[in-house]
Amino acid sequence: MRRVAEAGLGADPRFRAVDGTAEETGLDDAGVDLAVAAQAFHWFDRGRARAEIARVLAPGGRLALVWNDRVKDATPFDRGYEDLLLAHGTDYRSVDHARIGDDEIAAFYAPAVPARAAFPHRQELDREGLVGRILSCSYVPAAGQPGHRALLAAAGRLFAEHARGGRVAISYRTRVWVGALPPRA
């Protein structure tokens, strides 16, 4: 993702990529107005990440946590996509970020109370886009790993069965939380 961001934004003088993690950003104290974590919160060491994000946020700064939760049963294609991941994913069940509930997120922001929003959307993909989407997941076998060819074959069958006009659509519900992250005593 960093390479894509650098390719798309690298010429903008306002953009700067830095090596870091949620737990050790390498950023200055109180220098960030908005910190955003999209599709990543489930990887954080939450205690360390919370302290680091609170440290780098400027007075009045906010943290936004964002997820695109795939709706697993909205359409026959969505059900087939879920079945593909269950059948071919390596550790799909254990890293599913949808397991993170509202209580865990509220606890991360506490004592502040974040604003919340959710809205539906769809990602339309051609065959190449679908395969790329699947292969971008950390929980599927990569090229050269056992099960990779079977995964690609299953993806091809799924696309052939459900494509309309050369495209399929993955259904999502985007969840967003935005709020202050006051330091804890």
Q: Which structural domain range is residue 166 located in? A: 2-179
In a domain, 51, yes or no: yes
pLDDT (tens digit, 9 = 90+) per residue, 38-49?
Answer: 988 988 999 999
Q: How many other C-beta atoms can be found within 10 angstroms of the C-beta atom of residue 111? A: 8
In a domain, 184, yes or no: no
The β-bridge partners of 67 are 175
In a domain, 43, yes or no: yes
pTM of the complete model = 0.82
Q: How far is CA 152 from the centre of its chain?
A: 22
| DSSP codes of every residue in 104-154 | HHHHHHTTS--EEEEEEEEEEE-HHHHHHHHHTSTTSPPTTSTTHHHHHHH
In a domain, 121, yes or no: yes
In a domain, 185, yes or no: no
In a domain, 115, yes or no: yes
Residue 97 has a pLDDT of: 58
In a domain, 120, yes or no: yes
pLDDT (tens digit, 9 = 90+) per residue, 42-98?
Answer: 889 999 999 999 999 999 999 999 999 999 999 999 999 999 999 999 988 877 656
pLDDT (tens digit, 9 = 90+) per residue, 92-144?
Answer: 887 765 678 899 999 999 999 999 999 999 999 999 999 999 999 989 999 99
In a domain, 107, yes or no: yes
Residue 13 has a pLDDT of: 95
CA separation for the pair 132, 160 (Å, rounded): 16
Q: How many structural domains does the chain have? A: 1
For position 165, which CATH number holds? 3.40.50.150
